[in-house]
Amino acid sequence: MIIDLPSTTTSQVNQKMVELRERGGAVALGRVLTLVIAAEDDDRLEDAIDAANDASREHPSRVIVVAKGSRTAAARIDGQIRVGGDAGASEVIVLRLYGALASQGQSAVVPLLLPDAPIVTWWPGTGPKAPAQDPLGQLAQRRITDSAAARNPVRTLATRAKSYEPGDTDLAWTRLTHWRAQLVSALDLPPYEKLSGATVTGEGDSPSTELLAGWLAEYLNVPVKRVKTTSAQGIVSVSLERRSGSIELHRPDGKVGTLTAPGQPSRRVALQRRNTTDCLIEELRRLDPDEVYEGALRGLGKLAAKTKKTAATTSKTTRKPAAKQTEAVS
């Protein structure tokens, strides 16, 4: 059921929600959190709502969507309430803010928050440079962005690494879960040798590839080469180098990967690109800070520092070798 409330107020929206609950017998006590969606463009709005509805079947929640209308229009709020089959296992409130209210999303959201329930804010589009400083981000215990949606994903990721606060996370990181699981399980098999280095190959503007390289640099504490390619999208391969031979995980088609290691038979593993719904469901399972993601962001800084250090060290002898080594870790 979809109910439109043009030129409304938050009080009227709340009153209508109470009326619907009394009429339909639904209660808000079964909601485990409030998910605030900051929709920056209409193209992503419905996709974001569909993802939230699917995620609500595992995490029943109240979904509040904040969309910006024309800033030149008269100040008003157009509301919409979705319940039942149009809202999954949640209740969806869409607020479109016009005029001077377009920048007052926080004030419009606060009266509609569930009492004593955690708050998660999700930006399905470009999102702010510093999520914790954004008015909607200040309301939340967890703040979910997606660097892949930005015009320059890698630069956006680097900016968010500088502004990171506990509770921040990114769907570009969540898309790595299966890759990280496969690599960790491969390292648990004999021979148990110290790694000498790693190489991560992927699309030049893939934030997930950057985060994977940063994660390896932070937690393996070995030199990591970031190789950029245009032959495929996203992450293409990872190679972990050791004395007896390299562990390699190669995914050329974005669907199925091949894991090879010395002394072990080659294995085909499922590495299908994860959709937004799957990533959102995973992120909503935890409300505490993701310390491993924070470590991966630190790893990005280590990669940059290593590039500068290598260039500075080799430039004392000859310039050409310095240029080659710098390119290898970029």
Q: What is the pLDDT of residues 274-325, one digit of tens each?
A: 999 999 999 999 999 999 999 999 999 887 544 433 333 333 333 333 333 3
Domain end (from 121, 145, 171): 171
Distance (Å, whole) CA 264 – CA 308: 38
Structural domain count, the chain = 2
**What's residue 192's pLDDT?**
86
Count of CB atoms within 10 A of residue 125's CB?
17
**What's residue 31's pLDDT?**
83
pLDDT tens-digit readout, 3-20 = 999 999 999 999 998 888
Q: Which run of H or of E encompasses 52?
A: helix 42-55
- Here the tokens at position 277 are 């719904």
**What's residue 26's pLDDT?**
56
If asked whether residues 133 and 229 sit together in one domain, one would say no
pLDDT surpasses 60 at 327: no
If asked whether residues 89 and 183 sit together in one domain, one would say no
If asked whether residues 17 and 117 sit together in one domain, one would say yes
**48 falls in which pLDDT band (50, 70, 90)?**
very high
* Domain coverage including residue 61: 2-171
The secondary structure of residue 32, as a DSSP letter, is: -
**What's residue 318's pLDDT?**
36
Mean pLDDT of 201-228: 94
Of 8-17, 185-194, 230-239, 303-312, minimum mean pLDDT range: 303-312
pLDDT surpasses 90 at 181: yes
236 in a domain, yes or no? yes
CATH of the domain at 65: 3.40.50
**What's residue 42's pLDDT?**
76
If asked whether residues 153 and 251 sit together in one domain, one would say no
If asked whether residues 122 and 267 sit together in one domain, one would say no
Domain end (from 153, 171, 189): 171
CB 148 within 8 A of CB 171: yes
If asked whether residues 101 and 27 sit together in one domain, one would say yes
Count of CB atoms within 10 A of residue 328's CB?
15
Distance (Å, whole) CA 201 – CA 204: 9
If asked whether residues 16 and 133 sit together in one domain, one would say yes
Distance (Å, whole) CA 145 – CA 293: 13
**What's residue 25's pLDDT?**
60
**What's residue 217's pLDDT?**
95
pLDDT surpasses 90 at 191: no
**What's residue 189's pLDDT?**
86
197 in a domain, yes or no? yes
- Here the tokens at position 157 are 């990721």
Q: Is 83 left (phi over 0), alpha (psi -120 to 50) or beta?
A: beta
Of 118-127, 153-162, 208-217, 230-239, minimum mean pLDDT range: 230-239
If asked whether residues 150 and 117 sit together in one domain, one would say yes
pLDDT tens-digit readout, 126-174 = 999 999 999 999 999 999 999 999 999 999 999 999 999 999 999 999 9
pLDDT tens-digit readout, 73-109 = 999 999 999 988 777 778 999 999 999 999 999 999 9
**What's residue 28's pLDDT?**
54
pLDDT surpasses 70 at 255: yes
Mean pLDDT of 226-253: 93
